[in-house]
Structures are given as C-alpha cells and as structure tokens.
Amino acid sequence: MTLIAGKATNITSAKDLGDYRIELVFSDRHSVTVNFGPFLRASFNPGIRRFLLPQEFKSFQIVHGNLVWGDYDLCFPIEDLYVGQVVCSGHEPLASAVAETAGKYTVRPKKEARRG
C-alpha cells in the first residue's frame, strides 16, 4: 500500500508493542509495525541513543498526525513510517534491520562535499 498523492494521511494511533516496536495506524486505516531498535542501536548520536532507555522510548506522542518524541527530538517522515521504513543518515547500512510488515530500512549516505 502506498500514500496517495495530494491526499493528507496522518497517524491516528500508535501502540507500543515492546522491544522498540510500535504499531501505527493511519487515517486511511493502513497499519504497520515498525521496529525502531536497529535504528536506535546504530546511531552514535547521544540525543538519539537516549531513546534506547525504555522510559524515553515509550514517551512518544502523536502531534498533528506525526509520531514524535519530546519537542520533535526524534521524528520520522510519514512517508517512511507508512511503509515501515526508518532512514538513518550518515551511518553504515543497517543490514540486520528488517521491518516486520511491508517495508524496509535504508540508509541515505552522506553526500560528499563538492570541491570547486
């Protein structure tokens, strides 16, 4: 299932399933379970790694249809979450990371600075 261009789709509910997994339900009734564990473990950023603490991870909220932690300390694009994808910028590929339902984890490599 994919998002429909021009149609607003929001997260309507999020349920903690344990082990860094969250079941998300969208306004079009699509649901997906996303495992955030591999993403959190792969990060070297202490601001992200703090969400490995169970009480911090469980502090997520739905704000304006987005899944967020803190004051947008951690937030993912709806398009990625919709397909169960978590993107990690600037890290080695998360080879063992697998979404539990349709989707995947990908890594966007850092763009090399142009020399001119």
Q: What is the sign of the dihedral through the CA atoms of 107, 29, 24 and 62?
A: positive
- Residue 1's pLDDT is what? 53
- Of 32, 19, 48, 15, nearest in space to 82 by CA: 32
For the domain that residue 64 is a member of, what is the CATH number?
3.30.2020.10
Q: What is the pTM of this model?
A: 0.72
- Residue 5's pLDDT is what? 62
**Range(s) of the domain holding residue 78:** 11-108
Q: Are 46 and 66 in contact (CB under 8 A)?
A: no
Residue 114 inside a domain? The answer is no
Amino acid at 44: F
Between 3 and 43, the higher pLDDT residue = 43
Pairing type for strands 31-35 and 21-26 reads antiparallel
Residue 5 inside a domain? The answer is no
- Residue 101's pLDDT is what? 41
Helix-, strand-, coil-residue percentages of the chain, each rounded to 5: 20, 30, 50
Task: Give the integer Cα–Cα distance in Å for 58 and 22.
Answer: 9
Query: What is the separation of C-alpha 70 from the centre of its chain, rounded to a whole number of angstroms?
Result: 14
Give the pLDDT confidence of 19-55 residue by residue, as tens digits: 999 999 999 999 999 999 999 999 889 999 999 999 9
Residue 87 inside a domain? The answer is yes
Per-residue pLDDT, averaged over 56-85, amounts to: 93
Residue 6 inside a domain? The answer is no
Give the pLDDT confidence of 71-89 residue by residue, as tens digits: 999 999 988 899 888 876 5
Residue with tokens 């564990």: 37
Count the domains in the chain. 1
